Structures are given as structure tokens and as C-alpha cells.
Chains A and B, each alone.
Chain A
Amino acid sequence: MDTDRGGVGIVGLGKYLPSRAVDNPAIEQGAGLAPGTIEKQTGITRRFLVDEGDTATAMAVAASRQALDAAKVEPSGLGLILGCTYTPDYVFPALACDVHRVLGATGAGAFDLMANCTAFQVGAMVGSDRMHCDPELGNVLVIGTAIVSRALRWDDPTSAIYFGDGAGAAVLGRVPAGYGFLAHEVSSQTRAYESVRLRRPAPGSGERTFIEMNGMDVWKQVAQHQPGVVRRAVAKAGLTLDDVDFYVFHQANLHLITYLMSRLGAKPNRTYTNVERIGNTAEASLPIALCEAVEQKRIKHDDVVVISGVGAGFTFGASVMRWYDPPSASRS
């Protein structure tokens, strides 16, 4: 990395959760499951779901405004907006363009990218790479937004038990050399391409399609490939796993996160989980968890932080950062 040009890091985070909390009994009843099944299988006890009038853009804007406030950046300071979602309000134009319009970020480019539940990490990679390549580019806003509930069959226990809705956002900004993103890694294993999918209806069929999941394939993919992508990202940063202070994973399943921490030889107190309280919020999961971990001061200035996700396809990603927290930096 060319450290002479300074770093690029996360300088503000925001999140939004819908107000309607739904506990497990309602989901278990709809999916024909015995009481207690969901918590036993996933660790999830509650999720928050949108109501009829809620939109992906409105959630994205709410999370973005909080992130911009935290970063002390005006919408006019944005050079790029990246929308990460597979559940936008429109097939096109991009959700990022709608956020651009609502925020009045007239100086920014805007587009969406698709990497399912690891899209936020991929968006952070694209955004930080763009800032490294273009020293004139303003701040980058990366948004993960998910209204998964509208793509679920509530009588399908293989998918209905996991998901919640929400949005998370991060503002990327320039930080001193040696801080911010140190390395990124993305890799794909596509043998299980069909294992998690949301198909388009066949033309003229009138069919409505829903998320389909093969949980066994998801487990195999994550257990087999996600630890490796983290190890490669950490090595690419010139560090070892012992150097990592804190991990934030895509919040798919509490048991999987416990397993990942074990594979990486890390004590459980070096990660943050909220899947128990909000479920799997897809692209929003990583930024919401990161936002809450920072709010709760689980991450501090100078910490080496790894964010890692896995998305259908399957695409695995990990980013390594040295955390920059301006208030403590100015005190030290």
C-alpha cells in the first residue's frame, strides 16, 4: 500500500431498523415449527420487519443521514454513493440514485452493486479503492439496505426463520497514513450457485417467486471457505491473526459466528453479535453490527478490525482496517 498518500477509512456509521418487532412464536407458528426451534437453530429471538408503506430508499436515507452526521460530512461532500441491496424498491434505476436524489448529493456519482449479504464489505472495498485511485474524490457513502421480508414465504421454515429488515451505512473518508483499510479480499465458490437464490418469475407465468435456501449447503460453504478469506486478507495486510483485535461478521447465524471465531483462534469477546436481537438483515447486517459495536465502544482507536461476509453465489469477502477514531486520536 502507498502510505505516503494517506489512508481511507470509515469515518461515520449509521443504522435504521423498522419499528415492528416480531418475536419467534409468530414465525414458528407460521412455519409449522415447535416453540423454541428458531432460537435453538439460529440463536435468533427477534427481528424487525417493515410495514406496507416502508421503502428501501427511506431506510437507506435514514441510515445514511446518521452516518453523515457521525462523520460530520454534508451530502455536498460526497463523491460517490454505493447502494448494496437485492431488495430495492425498483428493479432500476439504482437505489443509490434515489438516495442521491433525496439527500441532494449533487456532486456524487451513484450506482448499486450486487454481492448479496457480503455486498457492504464489497462496497467498502470498491469505495476505498476508488478513493485511493482518485485523490480528488470526495467522501464515499456505502449503504446496505434489506427488505428481505417481502421475498419470504412465511410457511417455509428453511428461509423464514432467519431474516429481518433494516439498513446500515458508512461514510468513507481520508485518514492518516497507516489507518483505515489495510487490505481487502474477495473470492467466490460457485459450485453451490443454486443453493440460495431468488429467481425471476418465468415470463408470462404470473408466478411469484421467493427466497429459496439449502441450509446444509450454506453451512458447508461458510465453514469451508469463510475462515480462509479472512486469513488471506489478514496476511495481505502484513499481519497475523494474533494482531486482530476485533471481528465483525455478517450476522447470519449465531452458531456460525461462534464457529468462525473458533476456526480463527479468537476468543468470543473479540466479536460483536446482534443476530440474536435483529436476525439476518442481509446487506444491512455488517454495517448495522459495525455501527452498534462502535456505539458500544467495543472498537477503539488503533484496533485492527476485520469485517467479513458471505453472500449467495457464493461470494466471500473480508476487509482489514486499523480503526481511526478522531477524538481519541487527537487526545493521544
Chain B
Amino acid sequence: MLYVGLTLAAVAGGYALLEYSRGVKGADDLKVAASVNADQLLGDFNTDEAAAMAKYVGTTEQAVQVTGTIRSMGPTGDGKVTVVLETGDALAGIACEFAETDVPVDWRSGATVTVRGICTGLLMDVVLVRCSAVV
């Protein structure tokens, strides 16, 4: 009986430790809730922000896949790079935050690319974090 109790306690402790130590998932580890082009993504937020939040941000973490043309890209500190996709609106883009090492070396302004990221909402840009390139 004691042996069973100790075993159960060890299993529970191990599970708790694993759960506590669990790392944050990247976009590649999450279900893709929607695939969309950059113009449409911004348009959906501008048309009905609440509906776009429900669709693209969701209540639990999910990924969104966005295709567009790179307007600009550059470092934003702490090993992060932001790739901004064109939307047809000079004041707003799709801002995709990558770990520096996850940006393909051949990506340049003007290239058409597809990004998978976690949509967090709209400020001036629609913001995607923990992005990866879909190649």
C-alpha cells in the first residue's frame, strides 16, 4: 500500500514539475485557425474588430497563416525581427515578430511570403508574434 502511495505521489510530482516547466509553443505547434492574405486580415479587423478578434485571436492560442508582400523588415531588440507585410494601407500593416534565427536569409522587401504566427490583435498594425516562415 505504501509502495502504491509513493508511486502515485512520484507520478503526480513529476507531472506537476513537467507542467510547471512546459515551454511556450511556437506557431508551428498550434492548429491553424485561418489562412488569409494580408489585405483581408487588416480589412476584417477594420470592418468588425470584435469579430476579427474572435476569428483570428480566439480564446485559446491558435495560429494564423498570412500571405503578403514584405514592406519592411528589421531588428526590434532582444533577438527579435519584425517583418511588416503590405496591406494597401500606408498607415497599417501586418507586423510579424520572429526570432532572428527564424527569418529566412533570402527574405527581402518586395518578396511575397507566407507567415504563420499567433495573432494578438490590432494596434496601428495587426500584430502576430512567435512567427515562423511557411516555405
A, B from the same assembly: no
Report which A residues bind B (CB closer than 8 A): none
